[in-house]
Amino acid sequence: MFQRNDWVVGVLSVLLGAFVIYRSNFWETITSLDPAGPGALPVILAWGIIIIGIIHLIGFRFSPKIKKYDLQELKPVLQISLASIIYILFFEKIGYLILTPLLIMAIMWIVQVRDRKVLIKTGVVATAVLFSIFFFGLKVKLPLGILEFFFEG
């Protein structure tokens, strides 16, 4: 069930989850319909990522050891982790509407989706749907970054 490189996925998951929790402390608390604030969902998801990472580490520890080790298998995990970290670092400055479709398209590209029309449509439509649900429906103030002047009162 567990593969020989699961320890890397486990360590990266724990580190990424910890990074998200750390960064969520900097998001300002905004009054919205959600009493938990804008950082609650990322923290919940980060804890989920950490738990998955721990499961991978435990599974790797108790799985039979395989001697052969291929670094090419780690490349997508490292690329997705790097894309996620870049997304988190620039989230407030650039904004949800610009960075989220780019993140979705980057992850799809990393997992070998090469049709540009599919990449663009998926990134834009998924972002629009999620933005509409959270911003308009749930009244969660998402960081708009450089596009904030379009949404001012």
In the chain, domain spans: 1-69, 92-153
SS (H, E, C) the chain: CCCCCHHHHHHHHHHHHHHHHHHHCCCCCCCCCCCCCCCHHHHHHHHHHHHHHHHHHHHHHHCCCCCCCCHHHHHHHHHHHHHHHHHHHHHHHHCHHHHHHHHHHHHHHHCCCCCHHHHHHHHHHHHHHHHHHHHHHCCCCCCCHHHHHHCCC
pLDDT in tens, 115-141: 999 999 999 999 999 999 988 888 888
pLDDT single digits (tens) 54-104: 988 888 877 776 555 566 777 888 899 899 999 989 998 999 999 999 999
In this prediction, residue 110 carries a pLDDT of: 94
